[in-house]
Amino acid sequence: MTAQARNYILRRVIMLIPLTLGLSIVIFALIHLSPGDPALAFVSEQNADPRVVEQIREDLGLNDSLPVQYWRWLSKVATLDFGVAYTFNRTPVIDLVGQRAWGTIQLQIMSLVLSLVIAIPIGIISAKRQYSAIDNAATVGSFLGLAIPNFWFALMLQLLLAVQLGWLPSSTAGQDVRWPDRGLYYIMPVLVLSLSLVATFVRFMRSSFLEVIRQDYITMARAKGLDERTITYRHALKNAIIPMITIIGLQLPRLLSGSVIVETIFAWPGLGELGYRSILSRDYPVILALTLLTGVFILVVNIIVDVIYVLIDPRIAFE
């Protein structure tokens, strides 16, 4: 590793500290500037005794000034203590997140792998036969893929595959299903999450490959008589695929946004569904924890992506 590359990586990692602090301030401010009263989430009746509500506010520390509340929250968060949820039987937030993280991660990884497996070959073929029927079909297809709302796609799949044809279970009501039958529950959520990813990846892979095959070293390879296969897979593909790493990192927030929709529709026990339910019940500790953790996760993944990029292509560090 060159000194430039090392400095670059170090700079990126140090940058993580102010970014995380900024993130925590934005999220904290958003939640505490809103007009709703979280204390009301505890009282079931509509006309609760004001004294009871006041007591709850006192217990939760909601009567302190905002900077005090922020500091208290931050110093706990630093030790991964997000407090207990207001709802969900008052389970510690970190346990809730822990129980559900795996469900979301499974879906994300499966959709990422599936979309890459589909999109990379299509992108390459598209680029190699620019303006052919296949290329036009791929372009139109990716336009359609980006325009179909994911929640509508989910409903249409449910309508067709579960309601009409009865091939797949419509949602994840029974979690105790054993493998391999359990695999059936994954199909629709993964398809829905993959839709816009495939479209994005195809378009990106195509333009990246087009750029690479116009370069001199490819002409050189052709001039010295290498066959098309070797040029495509040994010479062009390696360079064309590097920018894809960045795009994968950039798609992550969208993928997590998608999991809110998908997990809610398919009743999937994951972080997206947890987020949606905690938002509906104004469960502040859960909302704070989820938004902060996903934010930090995305920042870290993007740094890892950049580091991988620099290790593969050290020219970046000099820019």
Residues in contact with other proteins by the rule CB under 8 A: 15, 18-19, 22-23, 26-27, 30-31, 34-36, 143-144, 146-152, 155-156, 158-159, 163, 253-254, 256-258, 260-261, 264, 275-276, 279-280, 282, 287, 290-291, 294-296, 298-299, 302
Choice between 38 and 232, CB closer to other proteins: 38
How many CB atoms lie under 10 A from the CB of residue 255? 21
Supply the minimum distance, in Å, between the C-beta of residue 200 and other proteins.
12
Choice between 20 and 99, CB closer to other proteins: 20
Supply the minimum distance, in Å, between the C-beta of residue 227 and other proteins.
30
Supply the minimum distance, in Å, between the C-beta of residue 284 and other proteins.
9
Choice between 153 and 209, CB closer to other proteins: 153
Of 236, 238, 230, give the one whose Cα is nearest residue 214.
236
Structure tokens at 207: 């333009």
Phi-psi label, residue 277: left if phi above 0, alpha if psi -120 to 50, beta otherwise: alpha
Q: What's the chain's Rg over C-alpha atoms?
A: 24
Choice between 66 and 117, CB closer to other proteins: 66
Supply the minimum distance, in Å, between the C-beta of residue 309 and other proteins.
17
Do residues 260 and 101 make contact, with C-beta atoms less than 8 angstroms apart? no
Structure tokens at 229: 């296969």
Partner residues linked to 84 by β-bridges:
92
Choice between 131 and 179, CB closer to other proteins: 131
Supply the minimum distance, in Å, between the C-beta of residue 267 and other proteins.
12
Choice between 149 and 174, CB closer to other proteins: 149
Give the 3-state secondary structure of 144-203: HHHHCCHHHHHHHHHHHHHHHCCCCCCCCCCCCCCCCCCHHHHHHHHHHHHHHHHHHHHH
Supply the minimum distance, in Å, between the C-beta of residue 149 and other proteins.
5
